[in-house]
Amino acid sequence: MSSNDPNEFDVVRRITVGNEMGRGKYLLVRHHRNERFYIEKNFERSKARIRAAEQEIQILLQAREGPYISKIKNYFTDPQEMCGSIWMEYPWEGSLSELIMGHAEKCLPVYERFCSILFQQLALAVDFLHRGGGALDWAPIMHRDISPKNVWLKRTDPDRAPTVQLSGFGCAQWKHNPQIEAHQGGDPDFRPPEYPNNDEFSDVYQMGQTMACLLALAERPPLSLRDVVRSGTYTRKFVEIVRACRREEGALESPNSMMLPDLLLGAMRVLDPDYEGDLYLSDGPFHNTHSR
């Protein structure tokens, strides 16, 4: 087991990332000079996979200035040898899926302020993919595979909760230049009703499914959030925003992509000014206390 760039990276171990193991092999590697850790994604040796790698690289390069989006650090493809690799930031705090399972084991809900902030950051990342911050020449990107396994958590300040790093771009497509292949369907449990004819609305739906997993402490999206509403753990307004994203019957009017800014405002209004709570991250528990 070796890196595709052994002159630059040492392999630490093989890892599993998201739902993409059929499209690439993942390694945790350490850079020789700066000793930083990265995730190396090595693509399978086939022409179709290398074409997919080239598209993924171009999408990541286009999106790299966006907020709360995992950053590409380096890449290469060799069509002749049918190989390619991408090097990404390494998220020390693991994935949202790991956080959910950690809290589920302790039967401890994730406190609402963190859930709301996570929703805001995820929405900002998705909104950037769709609209590029308002750039006139922006080519809209549809992620198509948003799930807890593809939402990484990264903490830059040891005294503050981690932030979102949206990852898993192996299924991403440009809206006006789709190149959908059979292997690029994403996690079946998070597919929108209109699959495979995904659009920006589909990403909003998957955001809702991801947030539903967080609120219900479930690995897969629950059929309904009514039990979460009845529990009183979260404010009804915040749960209704999540229900609307996933188009639950009886929820608020289902939002489309252009309503993401309004959803952000709605999520911000339910935030408590003072909060504290525990987060069970992959590298250990974190107690968060904050007051505005």
CB-CB contact of 151 with 122 (8 Å): yes
Q: Which residue, among 288, 284, 287, has the nearest Cα to 98 in the 3D structure?
A: 284
Long-range contacts of 228-237 (CB under 8 A, 24+ apart): 233/109, 233/112, 234/109, 234/112, 234/115, 235/112, 235/270, 237/266, 237/269, 237/270
Q: Count CB-CB contacts under 10 A for residue 173.
A: 20
- Cβ neighbors of 223 (< 8 A, separation 6 or more) are none
Q: Which CATH number does the domain 96-291 belong to among 3.30.300.130, 1.20.1580.10, 1.10.8.50, 1.10.510.10?
A: 1.10.510.10
C-alpha–C-alpha distance, residues 173 and 184, integer Å: 10
CATH number listed for the domain at residues 9-89: 3.30.200.20
Q: Which residue, among 143, 101, 100, has the nearest Cα to 125 in the 3D structure?
A: 143
Tokens representing 21?
Answer: 């193991």
Show the 3-state SS of 256-279: CHHHHHHHHHHHHHCCCCEEEEEE
Run of H or E residues at 291 = strand 284-291
Going by pLDDT thresholds of 50, 70 and 90, the confidence category of residue 21 is: very low
Q: Which residues pair with 134 in a beta bridge?
A: none
Q: What pLDDT score does 125 carry?
A: 95
> What residue ranges of the chain are covered by domains with CATH 3.30.200.20?
9-89
Residue type, 231: S
Residue type, 67: P
Of the given ranges (32-36, 46-50, 170-174), which has the lowest mean pLDDT? 46-50
Tell me what the pLDDT averaged over the chain comes to: 83
> What residue ranges of the chain are covered by domains with CATH 1.10.510.10?
96-291
Going from the C-alpha of 87 to that of each of 41, 78, 98, 210, 291, the distances in angstroms are 6, 15, 22, 25, 37
Phi, psi for residue 116 in degrees, rounded to 5: -70, -40
Percent of the chain with pLDDT over 90: 42
Q: Is the pLDDT of residue 9 over 50?
A: yes
- Tens of pLDDT, residue by residue over 222-258, are 998 888 888 888 988 888 889 888 887 766 555 555 5
Tokens representing 175?
Answer: 């809206």
C-alpha–C-alpha distance, residues 39 and 95, integer Å: 13
Phi, psi for residue 176 in degrees, rounded to 5: -95, 5
Residue type, 256: N
Which residues in 65-78 are b (16+ Cβ under 10 Å) and which e?
ebebbbebbebebe
- Tens of pLDDT, residue by residue over 50-79, are 888 889 999 999 999 999 999 999 998 888
Q: Is the pLDDT of residue 19 over 70?
A: no
